[in-house]
Amino acid sequence: MTVPPTNDSYVKIHAIRLPKTQLFCCTRSDVTRCFAPDALSWVGFGWPSKSFTFDSRSRHRPKIKGIVVAALTVSRTREAHLIFYPCDRSLYPSAATEQFGSQVLARMRSWLEARRVKAETSVLGYESLIVEWNRDAHRVHTHRYL
């Protein structure tokens, strides 16, 4: 008989239901396989927002020409949250999903780990890693705001 793990060992994952014409760039199991249980405060699949927008406090925004499929943000208090945004199946092929799960998530984890080891005095505001799909490849943008 196996004992189920306690809820303390898993990250809180919030998700919305999607129509059959849309999908997310990865699955819950991809996230739990890639990130440690205590690495993220919460993960949202289409929650709390279905589309990406820049924070109103941000000024120097990266130029995004494709569709944003994910954003990882680290706060001043070093809490991290990861949001996945839905995209049309016709615009996001299955090869992109495989690439995201095998390469991009690992890059996001490395970026997060680098933010966590920073000295407290070097943390000035919020930092985000934004992943864009431009029909050919994933592009990763970093963004900092107060």
pLDDT digits (tens, 9 = 90+) for 4-26: 444 445 789 999 999 999 999 99
Residue 4 lies in a domain: no
Residue 130 lies in a domain: yes
Number of domains comprising the chain: 1
Residue 2 lies in a domain: no
Determine the structural domain holding residue 133 and report its residue range. Answer: 9-145
Tell me which H or E stretch contains 82: strand 80-84
Contact 58, 145 (CB under 8 A): yes
Residue 95 lies in a domain: yes
Q: Which of 16-25, 34-43, 110-119 has the lowest mean pLDDT?
A: 110-119
Residue 120 lies in a domain: yes
Residue 87 lies in a domain: yes
Mean pLDDT calculated for residue range 17-36: 96
Residue 53 lies in a domain: yes
- Using the predicted structure, report yes or no on whether residue 84 has a pLDDT greater than 70: yes
Contact 54, 61 (CB under 8 A): yes
DSSP 8-state assignment for residue 61 = P
pTM for the structure as a whole: 0.90
Contact 83, 18 (CB under 8 A): no
